[in-house]
Amino acid sequence: MFTGLIRTVGTVTALQGTGDVTVTIAGDLPDHDLAMGASVACNGVCLTVIERGENTFSALMSTETLDKSTFGRVRVGDRVNLEPSLRLGDALGGHFVFGHVDALATVVSITPMEESYDVILALPPALFPFVAPKGSLAVNGVSLTPNTVVDHHVSLRIIPHTWANTMFSSLSVGDSVNIEVDMLARYVHRQQSQTTDTP
pLDDT value of position 190: 64
pLDDT value of position 184: 73
Distance CA 169, CA 164 (A): 6
Average pLDDT for 18-40? 93
Amino acid sitting at position 174: G
Whether 6 shows a pLDDT value over 90: the answer reads: yes
**4: nearest Cα among 116, 72, 90:** 90
pLDDT value of position 151: 86
pLDDT value of position 94: 72
Give alpha helix (H) positions in the chain: 63-68, 160-165, 183-197
* Mean confidence (pLDDT) of the chain: 91
- Hey, what's the torsion of the CAs at 98, 101, 106, 111, to 10 degrees? 10
Q: CATH assignment of 8-84?
A: 2.40.30.20
CB-based contacts of 29: which residues, under 8 Å, 6+ apart? Answer: 7, 8, 10, 40, 57, 82, 84
Stretch(es) of the chain classified as CATH 2.40.30.20: 8-84, 103-197
pLDDT value of position 74: 95
pLDDT value of position 197: 57
Instruction: Give per-residue pLDDT as tens, 97-144.
Output: 999 999 999 999 999 998 899 999 999 999 988 899 999 999 999 999
Expressed in angstroms, the distance from the first to the final Cα of the chain is 37
Instruction: Give per-residue pLDDT as tens, 147-197.
Output: 999 989 999 999 999 999 999 999 999 999 999 998 776 667 666 776 655
Domain 103-197 has CATH 2.40.50.100: no
Whether 32 shows a pLDDT value over 80: the answer reads: yes
What secondary structure letter does DSSP report for 97?
A: B
Of all residues in the chain, the percent with pLDDT exceeding 90 is 74
**How many Å separate Cα 67 from the centre of its chain?**
15
Contact 168, 129 (CB under 8 A): no
Q: What is the pTM assigned to this prediction?
A: 0.90
CB-based contacts of 196: which residues, under 8 Å, 6+ apart? Answer: none
**How many Å separate Cα 79 from the centre of its chain?**
13
β-bridge mates for residue 57, sequence order? 25, 52
Distances (CA, A) of 119 to 29, 100, 177: 28, 22, 12
